[in-house]
Amino acid sequence: MEEKKAFLPHVLMLPWLALGHVIPQIELAKRLADRGLRVHLCSTPSILSSVKQKLKQEGYSAIETIDVRLPPTPGLPSHHESTSSLPPHLMLHLKKAFHSCKPALTDVLTTLNPDFIVHDTYPSWIPALASELRIRSIQFITFNAMAVSFSYSFFTKGTSTPSDSPLRAIKLQDYESRYLDRILRKEKAEIDAVGASPRSVETSESILIFKTVRSLEGKFLDYVQELTGKEAMPVGILAPQHHQGQYFSHLPSEESAFVRWLESRKRASVVFVSFGTEYFMSREEIAEIALGLEMSEQSFIWVIRLAREGGEEEEDAVSKMDRELPSGFLDRVKDKGMVVNGWAPQTTILSHPSTGGFLTHCGWGSLCEGMACGVPFVALPLSLDQPVNARLVVGELGLGVEVQRGSNGEFRRGKVAEAIRRVMVGEEREELRRRAKEMAEKKKGRGRRRSAERHINKAMEEKKAFLPHVLMLPWLALGHVIAQIELAKRLTDRGLRVHLCSTPSILSSVKQKLQQEGYSAIETIDFQLPPTPGLPSHHESTSSLPPHLMLHLKKAFDSCKPALTDILTTLNPDFIVHDTFPPWIPALAAELHIRSIQFITFNATAVSFYYSFFAKGTSTPSDSPLRAIKLQDYESRYIDRFLRKEKADMDALGASPRSVETSESILIFKTARSLEGKFLDYVQELTGKEAMPVGILAPQHHQDQYFSHLPSEESAFVRWLEARKRASVVFVSFGSEYFMSREEIAEIALGLEMSEQSFIWVIRLAREEGEEEEAASKMERVVPAGFLERVKDKGMVVNGWAPQLAILSHPSTGGFLTHCGWGSLCEGMGCGVPFIALPLSLDQPINARLVVGDLGLGVEVERGSNGEFRREKVAEAVRKVMVGEEGEELRKRAKDMAKRIKGEDQGGHIDELLRVMERM
């Protein structure tokens, strides 16, 4: 690798059309420009007209601007290009207008071709568009991490304050809970109306940045990361380096008028009153604030926001103020207070020594400015995330007091006055001011500079510095293809160029779904299997492949060396991530000066077991961790036969059963260190190769989406599950490659019936050439007579594919009767579902001992001396997991394991892989 050059990318900033969103993006843009990055700010002409001149005056002319015009939108007057002075009933129209800017923003991105786009939560299609154009995207969330975890938890868990989360400390009043429930449902309806997602972070790339610092919200940042699977990073509170008012004041002399007024007041004697740029108070609310201020007998500056209707002149809007306030109020307070309509230089006022308190709606931007200036709060949350924010700064951090409210959220002048006096003249005053000043010092010293610098550099420089081109080449089996696709997604999320190489039939099922999921950046390239004696032409994968044809499929793949040589020569990737077969890939890659990494989709336990068999003549050496894997005699006999047959098959192809020996210096495994640390270490000891986990790679979208031709089928399964009680359904599936005998099918069927549990059972039936329609009707003939009729109210029996991940992750699913294929076990562990293990072939007995014996995540069906299983033992094992006390303990263990794996699977493994690739 060449020595890395200094990384100074080109960044496009795209904020939502609200002042509280534009200002933080400008402040982040300044800090990026200070570090030499090229930055464009993109917004509407009316917003940019207020920004450009001031940026130039402040020495930031390097921050370029590019405008995007909102298209004419029914119901939205043309002068409304932002939320400033926007009446609430027009908000949805503004969102629709911005959502309709996709063609214009596509042109902007295509023309500028930046390295990164820093985007807001809206519009939610930005990450997918950026991915199509090979531009990295970073979502900048201007709400705090606590509020985001609160709303995200609402949409994903049905509750905003799960008992196992840091949100449990956030106590809301009943009226606030009702309000937030309404607002979140309304927000979802509005987003649905424009075809977006209420959980916009799910569409974002792998990193979320927050306007916060870890000392304020460390536990909430960690919780966002746990909930979303994205890296949640603070970039500081981004307090303006120049006064906020300077961006939007048309008369710079206005600022000095505020300063002159403040200079005539005593130190810490003035309350600054502002309720943000988007909330318009009712006349009754304005009256209670006004009379509360008057009763408090404190000096104040109050900024009132009045909505402006179309065609209404600015002078008319100003004259509204006198009509909205209580009669005679302005005259009575003229010596005590300053009341203004429109903008005021908020940071200038808050940072002035005469300001001693801030009566605020608790918008996060305002709270950040107040904290940076060391001013205590009089909290009066009104809407959106503000009640949650108020609990953070008043309850958690102790930086102010809150105005007491009635049972329906109404506030009265007396309580407003009381709260103001507590902050301004009461006994608490000095303690509140001391805490606020300490917080400001902490933010200045650590938050604004170190946090922003460290995290901006991490978010951008590290993610862009090493971005190789990778070709993925899986074995022709669904479990192998899915694993490589999930790894490809995670590499693409980090900016790598990725090609997926496979047969046309596999890629035809993949391409459209990758595009739908926003992964069109993953390119595909196919190769044709050559005609092979004994292999029907329609068999291009192991799906529905009869076992006796497996060797023929391997021979066909082994014969693809000329085609794959052409692909590697044409694409010339930096790396090829290959499977255990064909074994000549590492040598071919070395000839072409391409680095190779072997991706083993079996677990490390099974690989060390097999390798030890071939290298040492025994699978369970007494000096290895494998000694804990106890196999039954019939399993040992089966595995011995299987391994010898595998060796014979490999010999027939001129290959090696120890394919890891031909691989380069690194082996990566679909596993986590918490699951298999000792076995990864043992693989490394056996092979002399570095053995690394890349996580269990649980699909980020349901597995069936790649291969189902009828997406509506998934909703049918979900509807069926919705009608069942929590944890009452057993999901039964034995993988995509094993075809049960009629006798085995009968024992499973009658065991399920005897268990008296609800179930979904996916049966795989082999398909011969030309038999497609007849295969679907086979099911009635292969299950016991009358079985389908007897269980029609309890069970769902399907032939072919089912949305496995959707079923496993559904709350109604309480157990998984499985063959113990590693892919299925990973999905079950990722969903926190306990297992009923019935291993059938290949590595499955070893896997069963790992998850049942070593990890304690299920029970195993008892078998006879020759491996035969009976219906009674199937029913007994199912009932142990589903209805006994043991079942509850198993479910608890499974949920704990899911949390642990999720923590490891959120990027640490992949980032470590990238570091190793860079070292290579």
String of DSSP letters for 419-464: HHHHHHTSTTHHHHHHHHHHHHHHIIIIIIIIIHHHHHHIIIIIHH
Going by the DSSP 8-state scheme, the letter that residue 201 receives in this structure is G
Cβ 331 vs Cβ 294: under 8 Å: no
Q: How far, in Å, CA of 394 to CA of 413, rounded?
A: 20
Q: 580 exposed, middle or buried (CB, 10 Å; 0-12, 13-18, 19+)?
A: buried
How far apart, in whole angstroms, are the C-alpha atoms of residue 883 and residue 876? Answer: 10
- Alpha-carbon gap, residue 821 to 735, rounded angstroms: 7
* Token output for 77: 């007057």
3-state secondary structure at position 630: coil
282 burial (CB, 10 Å; 0-12 / 13-18 / 19+) is exposed
656: left (phi over 0), alpha (psi -120 to 50) or beta: beta
Environment class of residue 586 by beta-carbon count within 10 Å: exposed (0-12), middle (13-18) or buried (19+)? buried
Given the residues 242, 480, 539, 819, the one annotated as active site: 480
Phi, psi of 469 (to 5 degrees): -100, 125
Residues 6+ apart with CB under 8 A from 239: 27, 347, 368, 369, 372, 373, 443, 448
In whole angstroms, give the CA distance from residue 29 to residue 40: 8
555 close to 581: Cβ distance less than 8 angstroms: no
Cβ–Cβ < 8 Å for 85, 19: no
CB neighbour burial string for 131-164, b if at least 16 within 10 angstroms, e if fewer: bebebbbbbbbbbbbbbbbbbbbbbeeeebbbee
Active-site position among 385, 493, 574, 579: 579
Grouping H, G, I as helix, E, B as strand and the rest as coil, residue 134 is coil
d(CA 429, CA 168): 29
If phi > 0 it is left, if psi is from -120 to 50 it is alpha, else beta; for residue 907 that is: left
Rounded CA gap, 865 and 771, in Å?
A: 37
User: Residue 209 in contact with residue 231, Cβ under 8 Å?
Assistant: no
Strands (E), 165-217: 207-210
The CA-based angle 878-879-881, given to 5 degrees, is 70
Q: Is 579 a catalytic residue?
A: yes
CA distance 151 to 199: 9
Closest C-alpha among 693, 917, 903, 724 to residue 813: 724
Cα–Cα distance measured from residue 318 to residue 556, given in angstroms and rounded to the nearest whole number:
80
φ and ψ at 337, to 5 degrees? -130, 160
Can you tell me the distance from the alpha carbon of 45 to that of 43, in angstroms, rounded to the nearest whole number?
7
Residue 480 known to be catalytic: yes
Residues 6+ apart with CB under 8 A from 626: 605, 608, 609, 612, 619, 620, 679, 682
Catalytic residues: 480, 579
